Structure 1
């Protein structure tokens, strides 16, 4: 591409130089020739007027007297009536420029100049034109090389950026080149890189979140199925199967929630529901795990609170907090409900050592963990809470108290949206 740009620019310059150069040569040649002829004419007329004046004044006319009136490179012949011709200078040979002027007293003055002088002047003019043309060609080549590099280098960079995107490296370069068209292409590639990076991040988060959030429901479901295999009591089998089916429904809800968040984390399905139902469901699900390690899980606080959120998302947030207390806390785990203004608050606390001081400010960041766990449970829980307009905060580090804040008022919907459903 560089070579094509240079060749095309150079071709245009050469055409321009050829057209205007030839025209200029023709014009200058004619101008020089015309100027030389006019100088000869003017000198002949002037010399004739001098001779006229001397004849009228009866003054002597000779070559010595008129020699100063004729240029060194010219020849003059004065033909006087009844007198021998007077010659001044050396008569040129070959092609000459000649002019004859007639005086008022019958004399004739002829001035000649060799055309070689005109040829030398034309040659000097052509040399100057050729030098200017050569400088123009050199300047055009330098400009073409600079312009070619300015256009070709960005295209090479853009090709490398596109190749890097295709190889799975979505980092935008944020590099601009000062050419509007190329900068537009760079903007599009950077935008594509950012979108690809977001999609890859969403896929990785989906994989990490799925592995974390599906582990607990699958473990609980496995425990229920083991209970079924170990008992012969039909009533126990029916009870455990019913609980297992409920866990399957929650597991389905977890999967749907993960897929929804992977497409658009802001998408929520908030409804008005009773917090007691979700809390009791979590207590029933986690009591066997706590009982197996000799610990208890209880609930207290204000009853029959209603909140606006996604029940499945609230259950996942509470499950993350309860599991966090099971893995890292100690003693009895308590779920307390209370009201603050227009918000319902569910607090989860235990009797363990709490959150280390160096992790307090970063506890909700992904991959942050003080006990070699995945470090994504609290981050996912916070995202779930915020998706429904709530928030998850650490209210106290030692002993640890986490608070889930949910709105008690239905979200106002604009005209045309479907009305909010209510779970009873």
Structure 2
């Protein structure tokens, strides 16, 4: 591209120089020639006037007097009636310019000048024009190189940016070049980079959330299947198989919820449900794991509470808190229910060492963990709680008390004038 820009600019300049330069040379040559001819004619008239004055005053004209009147390297011939011809100067050879004049006393004056003087003057003029043309070409080349670099370098940068985007590096460069068209392309590439970065972040977050949310129900399901393999009693096998099937249904609900949130994280399926059912379900699922660790899991507090939310999501939140107590806590885990204002609260506590003071304010941030774990369990639980209008908080650090707050008022249906907003 640089070469084409330089060649095109140079071609335009050469065409302009050729058109206007040749015309200027022709005009200047004719002007110099006509000026030289006029100069010779005026010289002849001047000599004729001087000869007239001399004849009137003294009656004679000598060669010495006329030699003093001749300017430059000119040659003059004066013919006076009845007098010898007077020649002054050296007669030029070759092509000459001639000027003639006739005086009042009948004398004639012929002045000759070599045309070489005109040629030298034309040559000087042509040299000046040539130098100006050369300077114009040099200036045009430098300008073309500057413009080519100004246009080609940004295009190279934009090509590298597009290549980086294609290779999976979505970092925007925020670099502008002072050319509106190129800056517009840079804006579009930066916007695309930001969108791609958001998409990649969302996909990575979905993968992390999916792996964490699926791990808990799969662990519970595997425990139930182990119970089945360890017993020969048909009634126990039937009971455990029924529980396993219900866990498979909840696992399917988790997958559906993950897919729904990946398409539209604002979508929710909050309904009014019995909080006791979800709590007892989680206690039944986690009791074998706690029994295996020599620990207990119990429930207490106000019974027969109804709450608004997605039962599957609430179960996932409680499962994350129960698993967190199993991994990091100690002693008996208690799920207590109570009512505060228009909210139902489920508190999950244990007898362990609690949350370190330096992690208390950041416990719900992703990648924050007090032990060697993924650090996303509580973050996912908080997101699930907030998706249905609830919230998850750390109420006390030592002993640890986590509180899940759920509304008890069903969400209002959207009216035609509400647009896309939902009143809760």
**TM-score interval (norm. to shorter):** 0.7 to 0.9
SS class of match (1:109): strand
CA deviation vs aligned residue, 1:96-150 (integer Å, no higher than 9, x gap): 1222233344333333221111111111111122222222222333333333333
**Correspondence for 1:146:** 146
| Alpha-carbon distance change, 309 to 84 in structure 1, aligned in 2, over 3 angstroms | farther
Map 1:391-410 onto structure 2 (within 5 A): 391-409=391-409, 410=411
Is 2:401 aligned against 1:413? no
69 and 387 in structure 1: CA distance in 2 versus 1, 3 angstrom threshold: farther
Report how far residue 59 of structure 1 moved: 6.4
Q: What's 1:123 paired with?
A: 123
- 1:66 Cα shift? 4.4
CA deviations 1:365-421 (Å, max 9, x no partner) are 32222211121111222232333344333233222222334445526736277999x
> How do residues 249-288 of structure 1 correspond to structure 2 at under 5 angstroms?
249-288=249-288
Aligned residues between the structures:
422
Question: What displacement does 1:217 show?
Answer: 0.6
Tell me, what secondary structure is at the counterpart of 2:77?
A: strand
Query: 2 CA distance for matches of 1:63 and 1:103?
Result: 17
Query: 1:69, CA displacement in angstroms?
Result: 4.2
Decide whether aligned partners of structure 1 residues 418 and 195 sit closer, same or farther in structure 2, where only a CA change above 3 A counts: closer
2:74 alignment counterpart: 74
Answer yes or no: is the 8 Å Cα contact 2:298–2:334 preserved in 1.
yes
Distance 1:257 1:141 in 2: 65
- Check 1:59–1:413 CA distance in 2 against 1; reply closer, same or farther (3 A cut): farther
**CA distance, structure 1, for counterparts of residue 420 and residue 2 of structure 2:** 61
Unmatched 5+ residue regions in structure 2? none
Q: Which has the higher mean CA deviation after the structures are superposed, 13-22 or 103-112?
A: 103-112
8 Å CA contact 1:364, 1:382 repeated in 2:
yes
Counterpart of 1:221 in structure 2 is 221
1:92 and 1:235 map into 2 onto residues whose CA distance is 141
**Is the partner of 1:348 in helix, strand or coil?**
strand
* Structure 1 unaligned regions, length at least 5: none
Residue number in structure 2 paired with 1:352: 352
Instruction: Give the 3 Å change call, closer, same or farther, for CA 15–268 of structure 1 in structure 2.
Output: farther
Query: By how many angstroms is 1:327 displaced?
Result: 0.7
**TM-score under structure 1 normalisation?**
0.86
CA distance in 1, matches of 2:134, 2:168: 51
- What pairs with 1:182-331 in structure 2 (closer than 5 Å)? 182-231=182-231, 235-331=235-331
The structural deviation recorded for 1:323 is 0.9
Quote the residue 2:4 is aligned against: 4
Kept after mapping to 2: 8 A contact 1:72/1:89: no
How far apart are residue 325 of structure 1 and its match?
Answer: 1.1
- State whether residues 390 and 404 of structure 1, in contact with CA within 8 Å, keep that contact through their aligned partners in structure 2: yes
Find the aligned partners of 1:343 and 1:40 in 2 and give their Cα distance. Answer: 118
1:308 deviation in Å?
4.1
Query: CA deviation digits over 1:44-102, x for unaligned, max 9?
Result: 33333444444555665444444454321323333333333443332322111222233
Matches within 5 A, 1:158-169: 158-169=158-169
TM superposition shift of 1:338? 4.4
Query: Is the CA contact (8 Å cut-off) linking 2:43 and 2:99 kept in structure 1?
Result: no
Q: Which residue of 2 aligns with 1:83?
A: 83
Q: Which moves more between the two structures, 328-337 or 234-243?
A: 234-243
Deviations 1:313-368 (A, max 9, x none): 22222211121111101223233444555554433222211122333333223222
Q: Which moved more, 1:49-58 or 1:291-300?
A: 49-58
**Greater Cα offset, 317-326 or 86-95:** 86-95
Q: 1:274-304 CA distances to partner (integer Å, 9 max, x unpaired)?
A: 4444333323322332233233333444555
Q: Secondary structure at the match of 1:335?
A: strand
1:369 aligns with 2:369: yes
User: Does the C-alpha gap of structure 1 residues 120 and 294 become closer, same or farther in structure 2, counting only changes over 3 Å?
Assistant: same
Cα distance in 2 between the residues matched to 1:157 and 1:347: 56
Q: What does residue range 5-84 of structure 1 map to in structure 2 within 5 Å?
A: 5-55=5-55, 61-84=61-84
CA 1:52 to 1:191, structure 2 compared with 1: closer, same or farther past 3 Å?
Answer: same
Give 3-state SS (helix, strand or coil) of 1:47's partner. helix
SS at match of 2:352: coil
Separation (CA, whole Å) in 1 of partners of 2:163 and 2:16: 41
Structure 2 counterpart SS, 1:346: strand
User: 2 CA distance for matches of 1:396 and 1:68?
Assistant: 125
Deviation (angstroms), 1:252:
0.9
1:150-172 per-position Cα deviation (integer Å, ceiling 9, x unaligned): 33333333333333333333333
Q: Which segment is superposed worse, 207-216 or 256-265?
A: 256-265
Give me the whole-angstrom Cα distance separating, in 1, the residues matched to 2:285 and 2:306.
21
